[in-house]
């Protein structure tokens, strides 16, 4: 008796399917996938791709509930029009999402109460600061005044300019006491040591110099920068000097041996400002690559990179007592306050729409920002509220376009603000009497 041959139709279909799998050729006959393998593939995919997102974290789960539509419990009728697609039904059977929990805000009134409370917490009343006024204009430099530093004894201050000269001025009278020559390009940074009779300077000539103020001459050079040096700062407690510049690096020097301790590398653009403080982060840099970096001084590595700014960061200011700092760039919302040591963003100082070249803050919480277009703003540092706006008036003989502020510092008492600008003058501002 002849054996019954299996039906050719199913054999043909299986053969075509395997041939298609092997050669991926497009057959005229579309071989439908078996529903079981489709479901298996779908469940594997859901598991692989959405496993971590199927359940909300507990904190978010607790806020679910009446807020927003919940998933329907009963099985809904499928829309019959259009091509028959069982995928959504399959997902519904496979995906076992946990049911939403009731919200901790049992009623909408509680939610609105919480929102109003959240709004009121931030409205802190700013401290009153008396207005400031221009009290002295000092001329003497033949180029843009790019750097200024007050000595710790508060008797004199130094300025550096595009005329390559460092000038020492009497703080009380504004008289010129001394001119120091030696740089062969613009002097971009100055710092006076609180523990040695030393003045440190740096410039666009790649030089970093240490001046002995008892002999009024250069006693040390710090060699290493590959391009112009734009900023420097002294560590308050260690014999360490940090410089930064156009070679996208900040360099840490041993003040006495002239040895380079670290090259703080990582920025991809000019490092326009650098600041030091006693506790971590002991070095903070602001760069033209739009970032601010907080450095681990011992390891010589980045602790945190702050990427909030949209444009190049040209200025930094560390609060003398509060363990916080501010950074400034160009554009709107361009001045930002940060909390140390993590570099947590606190708030924006909004309203000074200019390229910010310099910032200073005193112990009373008066915060100053100076713009490239000659606009000056004074703020309450605690709340970010501006209390005074002024304009840098170019001196007679200068062009209107020469209204620009490049550097600033408060004196040691915090009652005088010294700025240097594009009209080659140094301006001194003071608080008006109550």
User: Is the Cβ–Cβ distance between 364 and 414 less than 8 Å?
Assistant: yes
Gap between the Cα atoms of 394 and 421, Å rounded: 9
Q: Which residues pair with 243 in a beta bridge?
A: 232, 251
In the chain, what is the greatest distance between 2 CA atoms, to the nearest angstrom? 128
- Which tokens is 222 given? 């710090």
**In 10 A of CB 266, how many CB atoms?**
18
The radius of gyration of the chain's CA atoms, rounded to the nearest angstrom, is 33
Q: State the pLDDT at residue 220.
A: 95
Q: How far apart are the first and last CA of the chain?
A: 122
Q: Is residue 13 helix, strand or coil?
A: helix
Handedness of CA 398, 404, 406, 409 (dihedral sign): positive
Q: State the pLDDT at residue 34.
A: 77
H-helix or E-strand containing 178? strand 176-181
β-bridge pairing 260-265 and 335-339: unpaired
Q: State the pLDDT at residue 411.
A: 96
Q: Which residues contact 174 (CB under 8 A, 6 or more apart)?
A: 136, 138, 428
User: Is the Cβ–Cβ distance between 416 and 430 less than 8 Å?
Assistant: yes
- φ, ψ of residue 344 in degrees (nearest 5): -75, 130
All domains of the chain in start order, with CATH: 135-419 (2.130.10.10)
Gap between the Cα atoms of 320 and 362, Å rounded: 7
> What are the CA-CA distances from residue 226 to residues 230, 244, 245 (Å)?
12, 11, 9
Gap between the Cα atoms of 278 and 219, Å rounded: 26
Q: Three-state SS across 36-85?
A: HHHHHHHHHHHHHHHHHHCCCCHHHHCCCCCCCCCCCCCCCCCCCCCCCC
Q: Is residue 297 helix, strand or coil?
A: coil
Quick one: which of 373, 358, 248, 282 has its CA closest to 314? 358
Gap between the Cα atoms of 182 and 211, Å rounded: 10
H-helix or E-strand containing 121? helix 108-121
Q: Is residue 183 helix, strand or coil?
A: coil
Q: At what angle do helices 87-94 and 35-50 cross, to 10 degrees?
A: 60
pLDDT in tens, the chain (434 residues): 567 777 888 888 888 877 777 776 554 555 666 788 888 888 888 888 777 777 777 777 776 655 444 454 555 555 455 555 566 666 666 656 566 655 555 556 677 776 676 665 556 788 899 999 999 999 999 999 999 999 999 999 999 999 999 999 999 999 999 999 999 999 999 999 999 999 999 999 999 999 999 999 999 999 999 999 999 999 999 999 999 999 999 999 999 999 999 999 999 999 999 999 999 899 999 999 999 999 999 999 999 999 999 999 999 999 999 999 999 998 778 999 999 999 999 999 999 999 999 999 999 999 999 999 999 999 999 999 999 999 998 887 777 777 899 999 999 999 999 999 999 999 999 998 76
User: Is the Cβ–Cβ distance between 366 and 413 less than 8 Å?
Assistant: no
Q: State the pLDDT at residue 68.
A: 46
**In 10 A of CB 121, how many CB atoms?**
7
Q: State the pLDDT at residue 69.
A: 46
- Whether this model's pTM surpasses 0.85: no
Q: State the pLDDT at residue 125.
A: 84
Q: Angle 101-107-110 (CA atoms, 0-180°, nearest 5)? A: 115
Cis peptide before 304 (omega within 30 of 0): no
Residue holding tokens 């920025």?
Answer: 267
Q: State the pLDDT at residue 84.
A: 52
The DSSP result for 220-277, as a single string, is EE----SS-EEEEEE-SSSSEEEEEETTSEEEEEETTT--EEEEEE--SS-EEEEEE-
- Which tokens is 392 given? 């840098």
């Amino acid at each position: 008796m002849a054996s019954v041959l299996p039906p050719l139709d199913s054999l043909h279909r299986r053969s075509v399917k395997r041939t298609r799998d092997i050669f991926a050729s497009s057959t005229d006959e579309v071989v439908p996938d078996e529903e079981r393998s489709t479901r298996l593939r779908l469940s594997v995919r859901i598991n692989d791709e959405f496993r971590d997102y199927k359940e909300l974290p507990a904190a978010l789960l607790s806020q679910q509930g009446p807020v927003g539509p919940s998933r329907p419990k009963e099985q809904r009728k499928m829309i019959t029009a259009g091509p028959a697609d069982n995928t959504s039904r399959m997902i519904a059977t496979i995906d076992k999402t946990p049911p939403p929990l009731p919200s901790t805000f049992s009623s909408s009134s509680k939610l609105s109460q919480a929102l109003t409370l959240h709004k009121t917490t931030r409205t802190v009343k700013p401290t009153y600061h008396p207005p400031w006024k221009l009290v002295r204009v000092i001329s003497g430099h033949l180029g843009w005044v790019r750097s200024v530093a007050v000595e710790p004894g508060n008797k004199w201050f130094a300025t550096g300019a595009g005329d390559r000269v460092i000038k020492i001025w009497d703080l009380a009278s504004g008289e010129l006491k001394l001119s120091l020559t030696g740089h062969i390009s613009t002097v971009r940074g100055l710092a006076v040591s609180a523990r040695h009779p030393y003045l440190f300077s740096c410039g666009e000539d790649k030089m970093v110099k240490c001046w002995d103020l008892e002999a009024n001459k250069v006693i040390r050079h710090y060699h290493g920068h590959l391009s112009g040096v734009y900023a420097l700062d002294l560590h308050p407690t260690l014999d360490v000097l940090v410089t930064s510049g156009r070679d996208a690096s900040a360099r840490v020097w041993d003040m006495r041996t002239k040895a380079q301790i670290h090259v703080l590398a990582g920025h991809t653009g000019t490092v326009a400002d650098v600041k030091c403080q006693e506790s971590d982060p002991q070095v903070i840099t602001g760069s033209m690559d739009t970032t601010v970096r907080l450095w681990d001084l011992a390891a010589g590595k980045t602790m945190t990179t702050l990427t909030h700014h949209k444009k190049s960061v040209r200025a930094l200011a560390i609060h003398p007592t509060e363990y916080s700092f501010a950074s400034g760039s160009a554009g709107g919302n361009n001045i930002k306050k940060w909390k140390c040591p993590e570099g947590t963003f606190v708030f924006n100082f909004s309203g000074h729409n200019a390229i910010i070249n310099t910032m200073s803050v005193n112990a009373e919480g008066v915060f100053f920002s100076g713009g490239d277009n000659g606009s000056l703003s004074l703020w309450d540092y605690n709340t970010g509220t501006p209390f005074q706006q002024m304009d840098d008036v170019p001196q007679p003989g200068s062009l209107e376009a020469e209204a620009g502020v490049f550097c600033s510092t408060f004196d040691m008492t915090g009652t005088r603000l010294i700025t240097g600008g594009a009209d080659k003058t140094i301006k001194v501002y003071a608080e008006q009497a109550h």
